[in-house]
Amino acid sequence: MAGLEGAAFQSRLPHDKLTATEASCFPDVAQSSTHTQKLFLYIRNKLLMLWLENPLVQLTFCDALAQIESPYNSDGPFVMRIHAYLERHGLINFGVYNRVNPLPGQSLFIILKKTGKVIVIGAGIAGLAAARQLASFGMEVVVLEARDRVGGRIATFKKNNYIADLGAMVVTGLGGNPIAILSKQVNMVLHRIKQKCPLYESNGTTVPKDKDEMIEKEFNRLLEATSYMSHQMDFNSINNKPVSLGQALELVIKLQEKHVVEMQCRHQRHIIELQEKLKVNLQQMTEQKLRVEELYKIWQAASEVKGVRDITAEFAVRSKQRDVMAACREFDQLEAQQKEIEDKLQELEASPPSDVYLSSRDRQILDWHFANLEFANATPLSTLSLKHWDQDDDFEFTGNHLTVRNGYSCVPVAMSEGLNIQLSAAVRKIKYSDAGVEVVTTHSRTNSNATTYSADAVLVTLPLGVLKEVNSIQFVPPLPQWKTNAIQRLGFGNLNKVVLCFDRIFWDPHSNLFGHVGSTTASRGELFLFWNLYRAPVLLALVAGEAAMIMENVSDDVIVGRCIAVLKGIFGNNSVPQPKEAVVTRWKADPWSRGSYSFVAAGSSGSDYEIMATPVSYVDPNTNINSNNISSISPRVFFAGEHTIRNYPATVHGAFLSGLREAANIANQFLGAPYVLPNHNQTFNSNNNNNNNNLNKLVGLNNIINNNNNFNNIISNDDNNVVDLINYSSSLSTSVTMHATNSSDIKISDRLINEFVVPTNSSNNNFIINAASSVYGVFGSGSSSMYLFFIVLLCYILL
């Protein structure tokens, strides 16, 4: 899918209609004519396409406007708003890309003083995505990370030529996936995973393909049956307790086994019925035979009378003969019935129903498929919600599944560049009030060096497992009950890996996967799947379900020894050498994760992801909250992470998207939304000549600035003080200050400010702020000196 429609698809948007978010952000468009909505959609899709064509460089407003065809570019402010919306919400200009540089010779930058500092807790992919976005919006950001590295549950083992991902490792399709953009921005070596997966039994024999396909088909039928039970029969609880997927599956299996017994009973009853029929038929045949013999004797005696028979005697003889013939025909019919019954009996006895629903071997193979499902959800099936476990299935991306051959950690490492990240800083307390937040940290290993960070807001991207842990982090005041209830309801599972590094390859190098069928249901997740993904001779074994928890308490030597025993059982004793290196993960025991990823637990639902994403505001217990003042309460504690995104949970892309989402929410809360009209009832008029003329002047500044070698002469060297420049808009509530990065930097003089300062009641203020803020990216929102210069020049143009 290419073009405008493909750009919308890749951005997870419908190409031909506004989303609910767009409708709320652009009420003027949503309430306008179909023509205006089509204009919006064309411009939106065009901007998306321009960004996707070159995600290595920031798509500025001016560059975008120059590439939009007439007449779609005739309403510059309208295009500006859409550009600002897409940038703010992380649909363009996200990830790792080159921001447009400041003017040559200038090292000026802007600090947003008014409520512009954010603390991000956690340097996983969600925290890093949010931090980069917030920094690009001009906010001051500090990232606090308890580990001594970035990435969180993205962790790559590297030693010599060996490489393996200990956490996240699979890209689940690129169609609609933001990782597709990151893969172009970062040096990600993507490799398509071949889905062929031969299964080996414990004795080394391969499960026949037809047997595997038959059991897999039955596995899918079981899932369909449980779905029917839940959604059609509303069988979701027993004695007011929620039913898990595991319970439902075992119940269906028992019902199938009961059905098998019933089939056997029916089979035996059918045999008995046929035997009774055969018995009756034989009796009738015996009686009929005697009758035939008797009638034959009568006919024979009558026909042996000597002499000429009169007509009466002849009639009697022929009558007796007819009776014999009729009796013989009845006997023949009974004989045919006997053969028919005997054939049916022979057929039933030759093809009896199965003695069991699943043989022990069939159950072992089915358990392998169950283990694979437990791997996908990082939890035993007995803990999954029957009704909601697959609630995100409709949002799966298209395309092949891929792995990152140079290690997934290349992404968070690249995203961390340029950010203020404090490593080994374990958060102990988060205090929030209507004035801001305070976060207390200590050194993660020594628990010393207590440090307090203050900010306007905090973004918590801690794993759900950490939030679940009692007293791991103290919230002051405590989180509201609706939040803690969701934390407890939603599940957080466990999945572990064993990395085995060898000196040579002894497996099929052309297969990426091979499975090991366990001998018992209880151990089905133990080393059930081996991955061959990297160029070096490395195997990665998975431990899922109940086995993942059990093996956390077993030593590395025992686990590695068990791996080697399994591999020798498959490939032979003489084929498997001892590994040169081995790594065993224990994500549940890791204090900074307490597990692998979230799942919808029994008793939970997809709505809990949305509750997890909802920010928390400080509410003074002495304040009477009502509908009139609740909107004035500003959230202070925001949440991101894979456990906060309903459509894409338990994934890297989900965590990444949640970071973009919360960056937009925080920026809109504390900086204002640059795409929102000052008066929501006001709509842009495509024939508004004043706005268009202003935009033409604004766009033309690009050439003016680039060609102005005397720009330094405009700026005075006299003033060494940091100067508050402007506070234009109540919608943005932003003060802009320019200062120097060193003593030799150029400062703005009071003379220039006084010369261009705009009265706050100016009728042009709203346009100035919206325009200047939206074109934060004209030369790059990183090029903050351009933002200031544009404000000043806009004042000059419009006044």
- Annotation-wise, does 137 bind a ligand? yes
Report, as an integer, the average pLDDT of 484-513. Answer: 97
- Annotation-wise, does 23 bind a ligand? no
CATH number of 3-109+675-798: 1.10.10.10
- Annotation-wise, does 250 bind a ligand? no
Q: What burial letters (b/e) apply to 770-790, b meaning 16+ CB within 10 Å?
A: bbbbbbbbbbbbbbbbbbbbb
Architecture of the domain delimited by 256-350: Orthogonal Bundle (1.10)
For the record, the structure tokens of 651 come out as 């994934």
Quote the pLDDT of residue 262.
87
The region of weakest confidence among 108-117, 165-174, 387-396, 436-445 is 108-117
Using the predicted structure, report yes or no on whether residue 743 has a pLDDT greater than 70: no
Confidence of residue 2 (pLDDT cuts 50, 70, 90): confident
- 763: exposed, middle or buried (Cβ count in 10 Å: 0-12, 13-18, 19+): exposed
Quote the pLDDT of residue 744.
32
- Annotation-wise, does 302 bind a ligand? no
- Annotation-wise, does 119 bind a ligand? yes
More confident position, 311 or 671: 671
- Annotation-wise, does 652 bind a ligand? yes
Radius of gyration of the chain (CA): 38
Domain 156-219+360-403+495-586, CATH class in plain words = alpha beta
Give the residue among 114, 117, 119 at the shortest CA–CA distance from 140.
117
- Annotation-wise, does 128 bind a ligand? yes
Confidence of residue 718 (pLDDT cuts 50, 70, 90): very low
Q: Alpha-carbon distance 733 to 113, whole Å?
A: 10
- Annotation-wise, does 308 bind a ligand? no
Confidence of residue 470 (pLDDT cuts 50, 70, 90): confident
- Annotation-wise, does 144 bind a ligand? yes
More confident position, 304 or 783: 304
Report, as an integer, the average pLDDT of 634-656. Answer: 98
Report, as an integer, the average pLDDT of 410-433. Answer: 98
Please give the CATH topology (third level) of the domain spanning 117-152+409-487+602-670: FAD/NAD(P)-binding domain (3.50.50)
Please tell me the number of Cα atoms within 13 Å of 346 on its side-chain side: 6
- Annotation-wise, does 134 bind a ligand? yes
- Annotation-wise, does 642 bind a ligand? yes
- 469: exposed, middle or buried (Cβ count in 10 Å: 0-12, 13-18, 19+): middle
Quote the pLDDT of residue 765.
42
Using the predicted structure, report yes or no on whether residue 244 has a pLDDT greater than 80: yes
Q: Alpha-carbon distance 638 to 690, whole Å?
A: 40
Quote the pLDDT of residue 775.
45
The size of the chain, in residues, is 799
Q: With pLDDT > 70 as the criterion, what percentage of the chain qualifies?
A: 82
Quote the pLDDT of residue 630.
53
| 557 Cβ contact list (under 8 Å, min separation 6) | none
**Pairs from 42-47 (Cβ < 8 Å, separation ≥ 24):** 42/4, 42/72, 43/68, 43/72, 43/78, 43/79, 43/82, 44/8, 44/13, 44/82, 44/86, 45/4, 45/5, 45/7, 45/8, 45/15, 46/4, 46/7, 46/72, 47/82, 47/83, 47/86, 47/92
The region of weakest confidence among 395-409, 531-545, 667-681, 708-722 is 708-722
Using the predicted structure, report yes or no on whether residue 397 has a pLDDT greater than 90: yes
Report, as an integer, the average pLDDT of 425-445. Answer: 97
Quote the pLDDT of residue 203.
84
- Annotation-wise, does 135 bind a ligand? yes
Q: Alpha-carbon distance 208 to 490, whole Å?
A: 39
- Annotation-wise, does 273 bind a ligand? no
- Annotation-wise, does 305 bind a ligand? no
- Annotation-wise, does 132 bind a ligand? yes
Quote the pLDDT of residue 513.
97
Confidence of residue 82 (pLDDT cuts 50, 70, 90): very high
- Annotation-wise, does 131 bind a ligand? yes
- Annotation-wise, does 136 bind a ligand? yes
Sign of CA dihedral 551, 555, 559, 560: positive
Give the start-to-end residue ranges of the domains of the chain: 3-109+675-798, 117-152+409-487+602-670, 156-219+360-403+495-586, 256-350
- Annotation-wise, does 169 bind a ligand? yes
- Annotation-wise, does 127 bind a ligand? yes
- Annotation-wise, does 616 bind a ligand? no
More confident position, 109 or 123: 123
The region of weakest confidence among 336-340, 564-568, 617-621 is 617-621
Q: Alpha-carbon distance 311 to 308, whole Å?
A: 10
The region of weakest confidence among 268-282, 313-327, 418-432 is 313-327
Tokens 């283990």 -> residue: 371
- Annotation-wise, does 87 bind a ligand? no
- Annotation-wise, does 346 bind a ligand? no
- Highest averaged pLDDT of the listed ranges 98-102, 445-449, 589-593, 692-696: 589-593
Quote the pLDDT of residue 520.
93
**What is the DSSP-derived secondary structure letter of residue 141?**
E
| 686 Cβ contact list (under 8 Å, min separation 6) | 39, 74, 75, 78
Q: Alpha-carbon distance 118 to 637, whole Å?
A: 10
- Annotation-wise, does 227 bind a ligand? no
- Annotation-wise, does 347 bind a ligand? no
Quote the pLDDT of residue 581.
97
User: What's this model's pTM, rounded to 2 decimal places?
Assistant: 0.81
- Annotation-wise, does 291 bind a ligand? no
Strand partners, 436: 433
- Annotation-wise, does 662 bind a ligand? no
The region of weakest confidence among 24-38, 295-309, 413-427, 587-601 is 295-309
Tens-place pLDDT, residues 581-629? 999 999 999 999 999 999 999 999 999 999 999 999 998 877 765 545 5
Confidence of residue 297 (pLDDT cuts 50, 70, 90): confident
Residue 628 to residues 482, 567, 625, Cα–Cα distance (Å): 22, 68, 8
- Annotation-wise, does 458 bind a ligand? no
CB 490 within 8 A of CB 598: yes
Q: Alpha-carbon distance 543 to 558, whole Å?
A: 14
CB 230 within 8 A of CB 248: yes
Mean pLDDT over all residues of the chain? 85
- Annotation-wise, does 153 bind a ligand? yes
Report, as an integer, the average pLDDT of 766-779. Answer: 44
Q: What is the dihedral of CA 438, 443, 449, 450, to 10 degrees?
A: 20
Q: Alpha-carbon distance 34 to 47, whole Å?
A: 20
Quote the pLDDT of residue 300.
80
- Amino acid (1-letter code) at residue 743: S
Strand partners, 425: 443
Q: Alpha-carbon distance 216 to 199, whole Å?
A: 12
What are phi and psi for residue 738, nearest 5 degrees? -110, 135
Task: State the first-to-last Cα distance of the chain, in angstroms, to the nearest integer.
Answer: 47
More confident position, 351 or 130: 130
